[in-house]
Structure 1
């Protein structure tokens, strides 16, 4: 349960409009759940306990927070933290699954041989498989209601002069603009920015789609805006008769020349030509930003599916913020907003629900020597790496659950076939959709008076899983008073099911102390989940090779299993609680070691060394699962 609910606005107005001013689009969109949206807005943002997971560097106001946008805003509001600029790059309701390519590392036992042979690993030789990071699959109505709540939450923690940039695409942007007109006001719409880029052409019977849209709004009439100009040349020169002495005309009509040439020097020294200096500042940028995608081989790339270029965020921050202002990104992804904010002397808040995002931005900021703390919203759900992977796994966790059972609609997660009771429909909240996390009277009312009665088969019982209950005593009383059917409704806590399924990795290591140094050598690492994933990958590859006749080279893991390790961190300060990384190494996908953010061309040898006595060790596998173990 949330600790409490925090109002979006200081005083919620009874009867305030919620999506009412877009009824003109009702023929296009059918908002079937407006009342539920209104009830949730009226109830407020769920505020959960927030735990400090790790402190990196010195104490600072910079925050990396794992949690949903609404819960993060509730925390910021409770802490009285105001944000001066918001950039968000939320899901685009595109219907796509975004995957992370998981690379198998090289066996460190072979590192010495590789180094001696001076073998250079080619990208094509790297063994990898993919894991879903999140599914951008939404019904349009659900997506827009979800976005509406997020926008309301974000607005509640923006400072009076703050601005917001919402990055979308051609698929959903125009719908979200209507919501932004309602939340921020049409008068506060400043620009529709077109991010134009080149990409490989795809065969299509329509024009190539080579742009995204970014909606730029202010919170109030007064807002910060810095005029940004595109500068092509810093210094231009011209002289009296316009004769070009080995140069050419600049874009502003001034003549550019090379004054180092002997002939130019002679003419200038003769006194016949008067030199005029003029600084060319360029022209103010327009609302069309032509910024290229990140080059696949660029050092900027961090192998994150939805990564945006730093130049794009640099322009946003330079336009709408100054030094020491607070910049927030509530769908932080690869962490580009936080990185650019840190480089430009701003404070940052990075928020994301996926553990891969938190780990990516953490490693990225450590390389930048940034100071920050990592927080986690304790909402009672033990997610795997993100809600999508949890939902994918959930079907196999509920014993006997079957999908697509005849007579059971899509509202239900599935059904169980019981020898005594027959078919038992099962409802489970969609963890990707935050509004379903709280089981309340409107949801139970829908189950009793609509979904049970719509079943085309006879059932004696239904099971309703929940994450949180608004008021359990009141809800059970509502079921008793209003369930006119003969169907028994059993409530089950989904958290219990999820907690029982968490299987940790295992690590074996030895500690040696010599010459004032402590060396930990990793002897064995086992990840059952990854081994199952690799087994499934190999099985699929073998089947495909039988069909198409092409040779398939399976992924092979050594007995030690060290190829499955991505990062090792040692805490020499705390025995428990908040993690402090005294020293750490990360193994990149080529097998090279990154020590405390510093890249090298050294291969990992299976060891990590520190001058202080280590108290705890943290091992992260290549998919992002982390294991913490006492050293002694």
Structure 2
């Protein structure tokens, strides 16, 4: 690779400004990152007049941010992240079938979204690397809000001081969630009912827009104790104004004379902005279970919370808002409503589908409002399009890694990267042998070669909890072979998933029967049947699929591109019904002639996808 090519694909990372304050095993600053390609997979809507299209990325956010370095380094105005809290919990999403419910509770299932269980050092390194990249992407006047709770807030504050510099710390915001469960006192300590949001700037020239809460009637009665024909008011001391200013106040009727003859300035409640918001936020509740805003997505935050943050830290539609742990897409949805540019990413494909559907609906509503506006209306500026990208060819590697990922999630293994081992489980290092073959003596030899390559003290520190191999069967003498290799006497285990089954569900792709008919100048796409083995297996209906009397109960969305170019899906038809409604299944499209390619994408309620391209033949 030439030096010019290297400059195009590698980005040096600026040394962090703060002095190191927190240390952990394996701590290493991020010195450089590699550029990763992104595949444009879908585009919703047409670009704005200035050509901007909002962006949603599916992939590891370290790779996503490395990709963004080429175009967006130093250009993002606001980053809000709600990353893993290391809460030692599994987060699951409640999923319901569409339309009418089946008998009993079979129509409701829970899908595991992610496991928030980390080894302490891995969590700290994970956040350290990503925060360094976020600093690189922030504009000089940009700021970052990091949402966390008591589990790791003290560590994250130290890392933020190191990455952004303690001089750039702005606020520690306390958000009281006001959730019913949090209001209950715990058996042996105080109830925990608040989160922490750290606010840091990149430089001293950051954006800040004060926000206000409207006065309550109680507050007005208590603090604005005087009243005249203009309303209730209070008075404040006048600090040596000019004669011209005094005359202006006098003409406006704003001067008040005390019994001692001293002039004071009237402040009317209805003319004031309200109470200036400080760093204790008690007025925004967590999302209620019956709220229309709720998407049954774990850790979903209320739109009002994120809206306040965006209004504080951005000024105009040109400002870019980013969220690299976007989850259900709250940050991106609010940015869309406020007319801001946005970039979002998540490694969970279900999060990408949820966000895409959510933002698509908002854009439809914005377009409808625009159409209803008269020429005299100024209207609200918004960006009418967004694109979905894959980073690092996730669609290519998805099936090859799927079995390993399922097994690791099933056993609760926390993945690690840039390591010989695949993850950690209860402090044990875990190696998953390729699951399409049995574990051999060579596999065990490779594990002990890795262990014995370390020094004695490092072996004791690193592997004291032990090593676990997960495999689908093994050679008959492999356990005895492992005992002979284990000269360091570390705890060692081989677990055969075939004899240690935990209801493993290996994915099979959905199937569909789609017909294309030509009717005059129109093409009619009819989905006759849709079958999702994964979903039916989770519903325990794989052997009795007739319990589902309408395939549309399984489907979350149907997206159709009437002129597919073979690369990017541009869905002109987006059939995304409400929570209790079902898709149509029959769609009329304009017919452009022989060779026309019509792409159909069906997404089920588990976010599993079916994709087919139909081609119009000669008549």
The alignment's TM-score, normalised by the length of structure 2, stands at 0.69
Are 1:518 and 2:536 an aligned pair? no
What do you get for the CA RMSD once the two structures are aligned? Answer: 4.4
Aligned match of 1:496: none
Q: Residues of 1 paired with 2:587 and 2:445: CA distance? A: 52
Aligned match of 2:387: 373
Contact 2:226-2:232 within 8 A present in 1 as well? no
Q: Which whole-Å deviations, capped at 9, do the CAs of 1:516-573 have from their partners, x for residues lacking one? A: 443322212122222222228x99xxxxxxxxxxxxxx99643764432211111112
Contact 2:233-2:267 within 8 A present in 1 as well? no
Cα displacement (A) at 1:605? 4.7
Aligned match of 2:608: 625
Aligned match of 2:429: 411
Instruction: Show the 5 A alignment for 1:175-214.
Output: 175-201=155-181, 202=184, 204-205=186-187, 206-214=189-197
- Alignment partner of 1:566 out of 556, 561, 573: 556
- Alignment partner of 1:615 out of 592, 598, 606: 598
Q: Residues of 2 paired with 1:155 and 1:210: CA distance? A: 30
Q: Which whole-Å deviations, capped at 9, do the CAs of 1:84-110 have from their partners, x for residues lacking one? A: 111100010101111122212237xxx
Contact 2:93-2:112 within 8 A present in 1 as well? yes
Cα displacement (A) at 1:414? 5.4
- Alignment partner of 2:91 out of 76, 85, 98: 98
Gap change, CA 1:215 and 1:422, over 3 Å in 2 = closer
Task: Indicate the SS of the match to 2:196.
Answer: strand
Q: Which runs of 5+ in 2 are unaligned?
A: 237-265, 364-383, 412-420, 472-486, 489-505
Cα displacement (A) at 1:360? 1.2
Gap change, CA 1:605 and 1:572, over 3 Å in 2 = closer
- Alignment partner of 1:532 out of 537, 540, 557: 537
Task: Indicate the SS of the match to 1:574.
Answer: coil
Gap change, CA 1:103 and 1:506, over 3 Å in 2 = same
Gap change, CA 1:612 and 1:583, over 3 Å in 2 = farther
Q: Residues of 1 paired with 2:401 and 2:86: CA distance? A: 16
Aligned match of 1:339: 333
Gap change, CA 1:191 and 1:336, over 3 Å in 2 = same
Task: Indicate the SS of the match to 1:7.
Answer: strand
Q: Residues of 2 paired with 1:151 and 1:83: CA distance? A: 14
Gap change, CA 1:149 and 1:282, over 3 Å in 2 = same
Aligned match of 2:274: 282
- Alignment partner of 2:344 out of 334, 340, 350: 350
Gap change, CA 1:160 and 1:123, over 3 Å in 2 = farther
Gap change, CA 1:529 and 1:160, over 3 Å in 2 = same
Task: Indicate the SS of the match to 1:212.
Answer: strand
Contact 1:354-1:386 within 8 A present in 2 as well? no
Are 1:165 and 2:176 an aligned pair? no
Instruction: Show the 5 A alignment for 1:179-258.
Output: 179-201=159-181, 202=184, 204-205=186-187, 206-232=189-215
- Alignment partner of 1:7 out of 11, 21, 24: 11
Task: Indicate the SS of the match to 1:148.
Answer: helix
Aligned match of 2:35: 47
Aligned residues: 491
Q: Residues of 2 paired with 1:167 and 1:87: CA distance? A: 8
Aligned match of 1:302: 295
Aligned match of 2:258: none
Contact 1:425-1:463 within 8 A present in 2 as well? no
Instruction: Show the 5 A alignment for 1:451-470.
Output: none
Cα displacement (A) at 1:79? 1.9
Gap change, CA 1:297 and 1:426, over 3 Å in 2 = farther
- Alignment partner of 1:135 out of 109, 115, 120: 115
Aligned match of 1:585: 575
Q: Residues of 1 paired with 2:551 and 2:585: CA distance? A: 11
Q: Which whole-Å deviations, capped at 9, do the CAs of 1:37-96 have from their partners, x for residues lacking one? A: 24xx22x22322111111111122411111222212211111245201111000101011
Q: Which whole-Å deviations, capped at 9, do the CAs of 1:571-616 have from their partners, x for residues lacking one? A: 11224101110112124441x15xxxxxxxxxx4532333456611
Aligned match of 2:444: 424
Cα displacement (A) at 1:228? 1.5
Cα displacement (A) at 1:287? 0.2
Q: Residues of 2 paired with 1:336 and 1:409: CA distance? A: 34
Gap change, CA 1:415 and 1:163, over 3 Å in 2 = closer
Aligned match of 2:314: 321
Q: Residues of 2 paired with 1:199 and 1:463: CA distance? A: 40
Cα displacement (A) at 1:122? 11
Q: Residues of 1 paired with 2:290 and 2:156: CA distance? A: 34
Q: Residues of 2 paired with 1:580 and 1:128: CA distance? A: 32
Gap change, CA 1:396 and 1:308, over 3 Å in 2 = closer
Task: Indicate the SS of the match to 1:424.
Answer: helix
Contact 1:64-1:372 within 8 A present in 2 as well? yes
Contact 1:228-1:285 within 8 A present in 2 as well? yes
Task: Indicate the SS of the match to 1:71.
Answer: helix
Q: Residues of 2 paired with 1:463 and 1:525: CA distance? A: 34
Q: Residues of 2 paired with 1:89 and 1:345: CA distance? A: 21
Contact 1:566-1:588 within 8 A present in 2 as well? no
Aligned match of 1:480: none
When structure 1 is superposed on structure 2, of 81-90 and 443-452 the one drifting more is 443-452
Contact 1:573-1:582 within 8 A present in 2 as well? no
Q: Residues of 2 paired with 1:176 and 1:299: CA distance? A: 33
Aligned match of 1:22: 22
Q: Residues of 1 paired with 2:540 and 2:453: CA distance? A: 43
- Alignment partner of 2:407 out of 393, 396, 399: 393
Q: Residues of 2 paired with 1:346 and 1:168: CA distance? A: 24
Q: Residues of 2 paired with 1:514 and 1:381: CA distance? A: 35
When structure 1 is superposed on structure 2, of 199-208 and 81-90 the one drifting more is 199-208
Q: Residues of 2 paired with 1:230 and 1:133: CA distance? A: 36
